[in-house]
Amino acid sequence: MGGSVPAAARRLTHCSLPLTVRCNSPNGPRSKKAMSRKTILRLLPALAALLLCSTAPALAASKTDPHLSGDWQLDPAASDNFDAKLTRMAEEMRARFRNRHNSMLSRGQPGAYGATDEYGQVPGLVQELPSETHDELRDRLAGTYRPPSNLQIRMREGEIIMLGDTPPERRYSVAETVTRMDVSGTAELSTSWSGNALVIVARYTNRSRSDQRYSVDRTGDVLSVTVKLSESNGGTLQLHSTYRRITPPAQP
């Protein structure tokens, strides 16, 4: 057979268990015949490929980026202002709320809030905010998305552990999808590697979605964290935070 035999496949030739096949024989319905070495060598590439495929998920789950671990401090000057971003999000939601009701009023759509009263009159456009006020929006999202001033990241056997300014710590299992609940609802949470970046995606049952990405630059001293949040009510939040390392990186 031309070409070299993969190392994983070569090891199979030293297996202590005999490789046999069953086949029809004139001496009886079935008999055992030892598989020839030539046949074994012909099958080795396929067996090696099978071994590599079966071990790929385990390799992906065990991958770690030692530069991500450590203690990090937020650089406010190089980061987005969370409160300013949240204010813009609330204003966009207010504008969308009003535009929607203006459209419904212009069409005289039955059931539109404020469309007509019992006398058939059209009252003025409602000026109040959507059901969730700015303060309520801030209280709901701040616990999950407000960048902490200090961030600790530890990695143990495929699990990433993060702790902000105050407990509780957050745990993420690489290459696994888990169900979690927070103040925004119930979500399926998946954690994976994209190159050397850690990506955490939360898909909520109400069709909201958040994407978080953690990546370290080539120096190993700057951590970039990006958050993209799309809520089912149309609200969006995009946030970038920059952290500086305050402890040496873990050794691989």
Tell whether 192 is covered by a domain.
yes
pLDDT of residue 213: 97
Tell whether 252 is covered by a domain.
no
What letter does residue 226 receive in the DSSP assignment? E
- Which region holds residue 114: left if phi is over 0, alpha if psi is between -120 and 50, else beta? left
pLDDT of residue 122: 45
198 and 233 fall within a common domain: yes
pLDDT of residue 16: 37
pLDDT of residue 53: 43
pLDDT of residue 222: 97
35 and 84 fall within a common domain: no
174 and 205 fall within a common domain: yes
Tell whether 229 is covered by a domain.
yes
Q: Which value, in Å, is the radius of gyration of the alpha carbons in the chain? A: 29
Tell whether 27 is covered by a domain.
yes
Q: Of 32, 60, 43, which Cα lies nearest the Cα of 5?
A: 43
41 and 161 fall within a common domain: no
pTM over 0.85: no
Q: Is the dihedral of CA 212, 213, 214, 217 positive or negative?
A: negative
Instruction: State how many domains the chain has.
Output: 2
57 and 81 fall within a common domain: no
Of 40, 62, 84, the one marking the end of a domain is 62
| Element spanning 90, H or E | helix 82-106
Q: What's the rounded Cα separation, in Å, for the pair 117 and 198?
A: 54
| Element spanning 22, H or E | strand 20-25
Tell whether 115 is covered by a domain.
no
pLDDT of residue 107: 60
Q: What's the rounded Cα separation, in Å, for the pair 75 and 97?
A: 35
pLDDT of residue 18: 38
What letter does residue 115 receive in the DSSP assignment? S
pLDDT of residue 103: 65
192 and 100 fall within a common domain: yes
Tell whether 116 is covered by a domain.
no
H-helix segments, 156-209: none
pLDDT of residue 63: 52
Backbone phi and psi for residue 214, each to the nearest 5 degrees, phi listed first:
-120, 120
Reading the chain (252 residues) residue by residue, the pLDDT tens digits are: 444 444 444 443 343 333 333 444 445 444 444 455 555 456 555 544 444 444 344 434 445 555 899 999 999 999 999 999 998 888 888 777 776 666 666 666 554 444 554 544 444 444 444 557 778 888 888 888 999 999 999 988 879 999 999 999 999 998 889 999 887 889 999 999 998 899 999 999 999 999 999 999 999 999 999 999 998 877 899 999 999 999 776 555
84 and 205 fall within a common domain: yes
Tell whether 74 is covered by a domain.
yes
41 and 163 fall within a common domain: no
